[in-house]
Protein backbone atom coordinates (compact mmCIF):
# COMPACT_ATOMS: atom_id res chain seq x y z
CA UNK A 1 0.00 0.00 0.00
CA UNK A 2 1.12 3.54 -0.71
CA UNK A 3 0.66 6.52 1.58
CA UNK A 4 1.37 10.23 1.17
CA UNK A 5 4.30 11.80 3.00
CA UNK A 6 3.51 15.05 4.80
CA UNK A 7 5.76 17.67 6.38
CA UNK A 8 5.61 19.07 9.91
CA UNK A 9 3.05 21.64 8.74
CA UNK A 10 0.62 18.96 7.66
CA UNK A 11 1.17 19.71 3.97
CA UNK A 12 1.50 17.05 1.28
CA UNK A 13 5.09 16.86 0.01
CA UNK A 14 3.99 15.31 -3.29
CA UNK A 15 5.81 12.09 -2.44
CA UNK A 16 4.37 8.68 -1.60
CA UNK A 17 6.01 5.84 0.27
CA UNK A 18 5.37 2.12 -0.06
CA UNK A 19 4.30 0.30 3.12
CA UNK A 20 4.50 -3.48 3.26
CA UNK A 21 1.14 -5.22 2.93
CA UNK A 22 2.45 -7.94 5.23
CA UNK A 23 2.51 -5.43 8.10
CA UNK A 24 -0.10 -2.82 7.29
CA UNK A 25 -2.69 -4.81 5.35
CA UNK A 26 -3.30 -8.16 7.03
CA UNK A 27 -6.41 -9.56 8.70
CA UNK A 28 -6.00 -8.39 12.33
CA UNK A 29 -5.71 -11.17 14.88
CA UNK A 30 -7.61 -9.81 17.87
CA UNK A 31 -6.57 -12.62 20.20
CA UNK A 32 -2.86 -11.98 19.58
CA UNK A 33 -3.44 -8.28 20.32
CA UNK A 34 -5.32 -9.19 23.50
CA UNK A 35 -2.50 -11.45 24.70
CA UNK A 36 0.25 -8.88 24.25
CA UNK A 37 -1.78 -6.07 25.80
CA UNK A 38 -2.52 -8.38 28.72
CA UNK A 39 1.19 -9.18 29.08
CA UNK A 40 2.13 -5.48 28.94
CA UNK A 41 -0.38 -4.55 31.66
CA UNK A 42 0.59 -7.55 33.79
CA UNK A 43 4.25 -6.51 33.66
CA UNK A 44 3.30 -3.05 34.96
CA UNK A 45 1.90 -4.51 38.17
CA UNK A 46 4.21 -4.26 41.17
CA UNK A 47 2.73 -7.26 42.94
CA UNK A 48 3.77 -5.90 46.35
CA UNK A 49 0.37 -6.46 48.02
CA UNK A 50 0.58 -8.24 51.36
CA UNK A 51 -1.68 -9.04 54.29
CA UNK A 52 -0.72 -10.58 57.62
CA UNK A 53 -1.47 -14.24 58.09
CA UNK A 54 -1.60 -15.82 61.55
CA UNK A 55 2.18 -16.29 61.47
CA UNK A 56 2.68 -12.52 61.13
CA UNK A 57 0.11 -11.29 63.68
CA UNK A 58 1.35 -10.33 67.14
CA UNK A 59 -0.26 -12.32 69.93
CA UNK A 60 0.03 -15.24 72.29
CA UNK A 61 0.21 -18.77 70.96
CA UNK A 62 -1.37 -20.18 74.14
CA UNK A 63 -4.26 -22.52 73.47
CA UNK A 64 -7.53 -20.68 74.20
CA UNK A 65 -9.47 -23.63 75.65
CA UNK A 66 -9.11 -27.33 76.08
CA UNK A 67 -9.32 -29.53 73.03
CA UNK A 68 -12.26 -31.70 74.08
CA UNK A 69 -15.34 -31.58 76.24
CA UNK A 70 -16.55 -28.05 75.42
CA UNK A 71 -19.14 -29.10 72.86
CA UNK A 72 -17.77 -26.56 70.39
CA UNK A 73 -15.15 -26.61 67.66
CA UNK A 74 -11.46 -26.91 68.45
CA UNK A 75 -9.67 -23.58 68.82
CA UNK A 76 -5.99 -22.73 68.68
CA UNK A 77 -4.41 -19.38 69.54
CA UNK A 78 -5.95 -15.91 69.41
CA UNK A 79 -4.00 -15.37 66.15
CA UNK A 80 -6.42 -17.65 64.30
CA UNK A 81 -8.06 -16.09 61.25
CA UNK A 82 -11.45 -17.11 62.61
CA UNK A 83 -11.13 -14.71 65.54
CA UNK A 84 -11.29 -10.93 65.63
CA UNK A 85 -7.79 -9.47 65.39
CA UNK A 86 -6.42 -12.69 63.94
CA UNK A 87 -4.55 -13.14 60.69
CA UNK A 88 -6.07 -13.04 57.23
CA UNK A 89 -6.86 -16.43 55.73
CA UNK A 90 -5.46 -16.95 52.21
CA UNK A 91 -4.68 -13.23 51.85
CA UNK A 92 -2.59 -11.81 48.98
CA UNK A 93 1.20 -12.19 49.12
CA UNK A 94 3.91 -10.57 46.94
CA UNK A 95 4.05 -12.18 43.50
CA UNK A 96 5.13 -11.55 39.93
CA UNK A 97 2.21 -11.21 37.49
CA UNK A 98 4.39 -11.32 34.35
CA UNK A 99 4.20 -14.19 31.89
CA UNK A 100 6.03 -15.26 28.74
CA UNK A 101 4.68 -14.83 25.24
CA UNK A 102 5.92 -16.35 21.99
CA UNK A 103 7.89 -13.90 19.79
CA UNK A 104 5.83 -14.82 16.75
CA UNK A 105 2.63 -13.98 18.61
CA UNK A 106 4.06 -10.61 19.64
CA UNK A 107 5.06 -9.79 16.07
CA UNK A 108 1.60 -10.83 14.85
CA UNK A 109 0.01 -8.59 17.49
CA UNK A 110 1.97 -5.55 16.32
CA UNK A 111 1.22 -6.26 12.66
CA UNK A 112 -2.46 -6.63 13.55
CA UNK A 113 -2.47 -3.31 15.43
CA UNK A 114 -0.82 -1.51 12.48
CA UNK A 115 -3.24 -3.11 10.01
CA UNK A 116 -6.27 -2.12 12.08
CA UNK A 117 -5.11 1.51 12.21
CA UNK A 118 -4.31 1.49 8.48
CA UNK A 119 -7.80 0.16 7.70
CA UNK A 120 -9.24 3.07 9.68
CA UNK A 121 -6.92 5.48 7.81
CA UNK A 122 -5.34 6.57 11.07
CA UNK A 123 -1.69 6.18 10.07
CA UNK A 124 0.29 9.13 8.75
CA UNK A 125 3.85 9.32 7.48
CA UNK A 126 5.81 12.48 8.19
CA UNK A 127 9.21 13.72 7.09
CA UNK A 128 11.86 13.32 9.74
CA UNK A 129 11.56 16.22 12.14
CA UNK A 130 14.70 17.56 13.78
CA UNK A 131 14.01 19.31 17.09
CA UNK A 132 17.18 21.09 18.17
CA UNK A 133 15.84 22.33 21.50
CA UNK A 134 13.30 20.50 23.66
CA UNK A 135 10.29 22.81 23.70
CA UNK A 136 6.67 21.88 24.32
CA UNK A 137 5.58 24.84 22.19
CA UNK A 138 7.33 23.38 19.13
CA UNK A 139 5.59 20.03 19.48
CA UNK A 140 2.22 21.66 20.08
CA UNK A 141 2.61 23.51 16.78
CA UNK A 142 3.19 20.17 15.02
CA UNK A 143 0.07 18.69 16.61
CA UNK A 144 -1.94 21.73 15.55
CA UNK A 145 -0.68 21.49 11.97
CA UNK A 146 -1.59 17.79 11.84
CA UNK A 147 -4.99 18.51 13.45
CA UNK A 148 -4.26 16.10 16.27
CA UNK A 149 -4.72 18.50 19.18
CA UNK A 150 -7.59 16.59 20.80
CA UNK A 151 -6.69 13.04 19.68
CA UNK A 152 -4.21 10.64 21.24
CA UNK A 153 -1.23 10.69 18.91
CA UNK A 154 1.70 8.27 18.95
CA UNK A 155 4.81 9.46 17.11
CA UNK A 156 7.29 6.76 16.13
CA UNK A 157 10.85 7.84 15.30
CA UNK A 158 13.65 5.87 13.68
CA UNK A 159 16.16 6.50 16.46
CA UNK A 160 15.82 7.67 20.03
CA UNK A 161 15.04 11.39 19.78
CA UNK A 162 15.49 12.81 23.27
CA UNK A 163 14.46 16.33 22.29
CA UNK A 164 11.22 15.10 20.73
CA UNK A 165 10.47 12.88 23.74
CA UNK A 166 11.07 15.78 26.13
CA UNK A 167 9.00 18.18 24.01
CA UNK A 168 5.98 15.86 24.07
CA UNK A 169 6.34 14.81 27.70
CA UNK A 170 4.06 17.51 29.09
CA UNK A 171 1.35 17.01 26.46
CA UNK A 172 -1.20 14.50 27.83
CA UNK A 173 -2.45 13.24 24.46
CA UNK A 174 0.92 12.90 22.67
CA UNK A 175 3.78 10.45 23.06
CA UNK A 176 7.05 9.87 21.20
CA UNK A 177 8.79 6.49 21.08
CA UNK A 178 11.47 4.98 18.87
CA UNK A 179 10.73 2.11 16.48
CA UNK A 180 12.76 -0.20 18.71
CA UNK A 181 10.40 0.48 21.64
CA UNK A 182 7.23 -0.58 19.83
CA UNK A 183 4.47 -1.78 22.11
CA UNK A 184 1.13 -3.20 20.99
CA UNK A 185 -0.50 -1.45 23.95
CA UNK A 186 0.77 1.95 22.76
CA UNK A 187 -0.38 1.24 19.18
CA UNK A 188 -3.87 0.22 20.27
CA UNK A 189 -4.20 2.98 22.85
CA UNK A 190 -3.45 5.76 20.32
CA UNK A 191 -6.10 7.31 18.10
CA UNK A 192 -3.56 8.18 15.39
CA UNK A 193 -0.08 6.86 14.60
CA UNK A 194 2.43 9.21 13.00
CA UNK A 195 5.44 7.44 11.48
CA UNK A 196 8.64 9.34 10.81
CA UNK A 197 10.16 8.20 7.52
CA UNK A 198 13.27 6.89 9.28
CA UNK A 199 11.10 4.58 11.42
CA UNK A 200 9.58 2.63 8.53
CA UNK A 201 12.67 0.54 7.67
CA UNK A 202 13.26 -0.31 11.32
CA UNK A 203 9.64 -1.41 11.78
CA UNK A 204 9.75 -3.53 8.63
CA UNK A 205 13.00 -5.20 9.69
CA UNK A 206 11.51 -6.06 13.06
CA UNK A 207 8.08 -7.26 11.97
CA UNK A 208 8.45 -8.59 8.44
Domain positions in the chain: 2-45+98-207, 47-96
Output phi, psi for 111, to 5 deg: -65, -40
Helix axis angle for 197-207 and 103-119, nearest 10°, is 140
Output phi, psi for 145, to 5 deg: -65, -35
pLDDT at 60: 92
pLDDT truncated to tens, each residue of the chain (208 aa)? 888 888 888 888 888 899 999 999 999 999 999 999 999 999 999 999 999 999 999 999 999 999 999 999 999 999 999 999 999 999 999 999 999 999 999 999 999 999 999 999 999 999 887 777 888 888 898 899 889 988 999 999 888 778 888 888 889 999 999 999 899 999 999 999 999 998 999 999 999 8
Please give the mean pLDDT across all residues of the chain.
91
CA distance 94 to 100: 19
* CATH architecture assignment, domain 2-45+98-207: 3-Layer(aba) Sandwich (3.40)
CA distance 9 to 24: 25
User: Model's pTM, two decimal places?
Assistant: 0.82
Amino acid sequence: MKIEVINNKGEDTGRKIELLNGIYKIEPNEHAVYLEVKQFLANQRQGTHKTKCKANVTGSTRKIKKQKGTGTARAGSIKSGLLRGGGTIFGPVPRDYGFDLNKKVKRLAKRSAFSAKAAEKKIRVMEDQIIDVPKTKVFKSILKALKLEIDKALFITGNVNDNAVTSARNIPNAKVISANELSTYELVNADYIVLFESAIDTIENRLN
